[in-house]
Amino acid sequence: MSQADRLPSFAQTANDVSSDAKRRRYRKILFLTWFLTLDLIMFGAFVRLTDSGLGCPDWPGCYGSVTPLGALQSIREAVQVMPEGPVTLPKAWIEMVHRYVGGLLGLLIVSICWMAWRYRSALGHSPVLALVTLVAVCVQGAFGAWTVTHQLMPAVVTAHLLGGLSLLGLMTWLAARERSHPAVSQASQGKFKWALLGLGILFVQVALGGWVSTNYAALACMDFPQCHGSWWPDMDAASGFALVRGLGEMPSGEMISQPALTAIHWVHRNAAWVVFAYWGTLAWRLRADAGLRGPATLVLCLLVAQLLTGLTTIFFQWPLLIAVLHNGGAAGLVLGVVTLLTRLAKPEPQRLSVQSTLH
C-alpha cells in the first residue's frame, strides 16, 4: 500500500478518536447533571418538609439580597414578629441553597443543549430532546418562583414537584441512551405500551403523594391498614382535592377540615396498592430479559422500599429522614421506569465504542 493510500485511513482514525473524545466530554457533563437533578429533587423534599419554602419570602433573592447574610436585619425583624413563623435564618439558607443549586442545574442543562447541537454528528442523536429539557428546566424555574409568590399554594407546589420529576425523567432519557446494555428481546419490546401506561399510573400516584405532602396530610390516618378504625372513614374529597385554594384552607377560606385531610391521605394510600401490584407484576416479568434486568430489579426494590418508608412515616409520625427517603424513592421509581421505557423503545443494537472498533 502506498503512502497516499494510507493517509485517508489515518485521517479517518483521527476523526473517530476526536468524535469519541466529544462523546466522552458530553457524557461526563450529562451524567453529572443527571446526578445533580436527582439530588436537587431530594433536597427540594427537605426544603418542603422543613417548612423552608418561605424562608426567603421573595424571589429570586432573599429580601432583595443575593444571600441571607445581606438580609439579616429583615430576617431578625420577621422572627421577632413571628418566632415560630416560616422565616428564620436556617430556613432562609436552606431555601437559598436550593435556589443556588437550581441555578447551577439550569446552566449545566444549557451546556448540554449546546453540546448536543454542536456534537450532534459525533453523538448520533438529534439535539431536540436536549432542547426540550432546556425548556422544561425554564418552566420548572418559573414554578419555583410561583411557589414563593403564591405562598406555597398546594396546586403550585405539587406542580413544581411533578415538574422536577419530569425533568429527572428527561435527564434519565438523555443518559439512558448513552449507556450500552444487552439487546432487548422482541417479546419484551411488545410490553412497551404496558410500561408507558405504568408510567402514567406512577405519575398519578406521585401527584397524589405530592398533594399529601403539600397539604401536610401524612398523619391524617395514624392507623393501618384501616384509617380511624374504618375501611371507609369520614371524608370530604371535594374540599380535599379542590385545586384553587390556599395552604391549609378550604375553598371557602376556612381552615381545612380533618375529613378533607383524611380524604387526601386515604386516596394516596390506596392508590399505592395499584402501583405496587401493576409494577410489581410488570417489572418481575421484564426482569427475565437480560437487557432489562437492572432497571426492572431497581423498580422492584424501590417498590418494597416505598412500602416500608410509607408505613414507617405513619407509625413513627413522619420522621424527617424517612419522609425525604420516601420522596427519593418516588424519584428512583421514575428513574427506573424511564430507563425501562428507553430500552424497550430502542430495538437497534447499541453503538460500539470507537476504542473497540480500532482494535
Residue whose C-alpha cell is 380524604: 263
Among 274, 291, 293, 271, CA closest to 283: 293
Residue whose C-alpha cell is 422492584: 300
Among 288, 275, 290, CA closest to 337: 275
Q: What share of the chain is helix, strand, coil (3-state, %, to 5)?
A: 70, 0, 30
Q: CA-to-CA distance for 128 and 119, rounded, in angstroms?
A: 13
Determine the straight-line distance between the first and last CA of the chain, rounded to whole angstroms: 20
DSSP SS3 for 195:
helix
Q: CA-to-CA distance for 308 and 276, rounded, in angstroms?
A: 12
SS (H, E, C) 210-245: HHHHHCCCCCCCCCCCCECCECCCCCCHHHHCCCCC
Residues with catalytic function: 95
Helix residue ranges per DSSP H, 82-153: 89-118, 120-123, 128-149
